[in-house]
Amino acid sequence: MDISALLAELNVDLLPEQGQGVVSRSPIDGATLAELAVHSPERIAQTLARAQRAFHLWRDWPAPRRGELIRLFGEELRNAKPRLGRLVSIESGKILQEGFGEVQEMIDICDFAVGLSRQLYGLTMASERPGHRMMETWHPLGVSVVISAFNFPVAVWAWNAALALVCGNSVVWKPSEKTPLCALACQALFERAARRIEGVPEGLTSVILGAHEQGAQLVDDARVALVSATGSTRMGRAVAVRAAPRFVRTLLELGGNNAMIVAPSADLDLALRAITFAAAGTAGQRCTTLRRLIVHESIHDALIERLKKVWDSLPVGNPLDDGPLVGPLIDLSALQQMQAALDAARNEGGEVYGGARVHAQHYPGAAYVKPALAVMPAQSDIVQRETFAPILYVMKYRAIEDAIALQNGVPQGLSSSIFTNDLREAELFLSSKGSDCGIANVNIGPSGAEIGGAFGGEKETGGGRESGSDAWKAYMRRATNTINYSRELPLAQGIRFDLES
């Protein structure tokens, strides 16, 4: 794992960033990869000033020209995929396949954004007044701050940045303090793309290294027009409260507590594969990870037996090796939180299976765990919380309405799914009486969404939508225009307001 060679291949020069405060450690063995300086308040202010100047130039570029830059960035990502995917694995601990998948997700959103750059449409409306026309125009918003989490250290920024940039904004990124190298690598790739076009404003994208305090300075700065934050509900609440007094726009994509209902008619072979990827994949550290399994009582015991076998056989190990499907947790404190959640599950009457730490001798500084199953008597306190670890709580249901009530009976509302071959159940689940989440799937798991749909959720998930569909609208401001091409001045609502002449 020669990190210096990998960073050099990705054109990352760490020298100017060296210092104290941000320590990048590989979850693979806990070793320090780099020590970087937290950015000072002055540097943050300078970065924002540059970003604002860049915005003032960039907003005048025709959107399809802006798209051209994203097309080139997508090309850079295609070329760098093996190296950037590997860096993602090294710094976040996900298996290589998922590291590559994350870079692919960046490439996909770039392709989407290139097309979008020719489709930033507004509507026209029929005016009630003769000789008038109404329409709406979408304009660039301003400096967009992106705060992202360790678990998707590159893709979530790319969803935001690719859209924000084609929409005419500049982007300032505060990555998780746990994954600064991934951010610096993306910035270097972006700069390579930017050098291929004449006149791209300097400072169009930039990276701020730091933690809570640096994030707070970004949220508070009057030059910032949008704060897009992905991470825990706790972080999102802090951002939302801080942002509220100055009414800066926020886009929040926060915690999930995603469920799957398994109905009696389900194809259990398919369900088993979907459950395993969604619950144990990424070591349970996706915001879309499957955390709650709600199983019909007629198949509950049999499904648990099958799950136990799969859970036993899941290869846990070094994510860079061929073979392991489950890599390490991000750090030892995540391991403690997982163990505390399992203790709580036991105290609340749960029967816990798996969940032990493994490879501790070989990797004392890393947190490898066997995924856990916790068969619960009820949706008790711990089941209602998001623990960022591979713990799957299993509960039983009799009537589909009760299963849906359980699915909805948590504070979070990100993703959900049902396995059923009964059309009525599937449609009920997708209906207004069904899942209350931003994502509701049938016969696939809750995680691993494509970029084409809007991504995000309700309730404590924060209500924001990123990525596909019309999520771009969050990165622009809408102006409603009424144009009078007549020689009269009729007022709306038929109001008469005549001046004596």
Smallest distance, ligand UN1 to C-beta of residue 443, A = 16
The Cα–Cα gap between 301 and 20 comes to: 52
Smallest distance, ligand UN1 to C-beta of residue 383, A = 20
Comparing CB distances to ligand UN1, the nearer of 3 and 183 is 183
Smallest distance, ligand UN1 to C-beta of residue 415, A = 7
What is the binding site for ligand UN1 (CB under 6 A)?
105, 151-152, 156, 230, 286-288, 447-449
Smallest distance, ligand UN1 to C-beta of residue 448, A = 5
Contact 386, 412 (CB under 8 A): yes
Comparing CB distances to ligand UN1, the nearer of 299 and 410 is 410
- Say whether 227 sits in a helix, a strand or coil: strand
Comparing CB distances to ligand UN1, the nearer of 204 and 235 is 235
Comparing CB distances to ligand UN1, the nearer of 208 and 287 is 287
CB atoms within 10 A of CB 494: 8
Comparing CB distances to ligand UN1, the nearer of 67 and 153 is 153
Strand partners, 295: 262, 396
Q: Which residues contact 201 (CB under 8 A, 6 or more apart)?
A: 53, 54, 57, 58, 170
Which residue in the list 68, 76, 177, 253 is annotated as catalytic? Answer: 253
Strands (E), 222-263: 224-230, 249-253, 258-262
Active site residue 186: no
Comparing CB distances to ligand UN1, the nearer of 233 and 447 is 447
Extract the tokens encoding 117.
């750059």
The size of the chain, in residues, is 501
Q: Tell me the C-alpha to C-alpha distance, in Å, between residue 427 and each of 249, 292, 413, 431.
A: 35, 21, 19, 6
Nearest in space to 369 (alpha carbons), one of 305, 304, 447, 285: 285
Q: Which residues contact 141 (CB under 8 A, 6 or more apart)?
A: 167, 168, 169, 225, 226, 249, 475, 476, 477
3-state secondary structure 392-447: EEEEEECCHHHHHHHHHCCCEECEEEEECCCHHHHHHHHCCCCCCCCEEEECCCCC
The Cα–Cα gap between 313 and 326 comes to: 11
Comparing CB distances to ligand UN1, the nearer of 47 and 250 is 250
Smallest distance, ligand UN1 to C-beta of residue 337, A = 17
Smallest distance, ligand UN1 to C-beta of residue 464, A = 12
**Within 13 A of 137's CA, how many CA atoms are on the CB side?**
8
Give the β-pairing of 454-455 and 21-25: unpaired
Which residue in the list 287, 386, 437, 460 is annotated as catalytic? Answer: 287
- Say whether 478 sits in a helix, a strand or coil: strand
Comparing CB distances to ligand UN1, the nearer of 277 and 380 is 277
Smallest distance, ligand UN1 to C-beta of residue 313, A = 23
Nearest in space to 164 (alpha carbons), one of 469, 479, 466, 480: 466
Smallest distance, ligand UN1 to C-beta of residue 451, A = 7
Report the catalytic residues: 253, 287
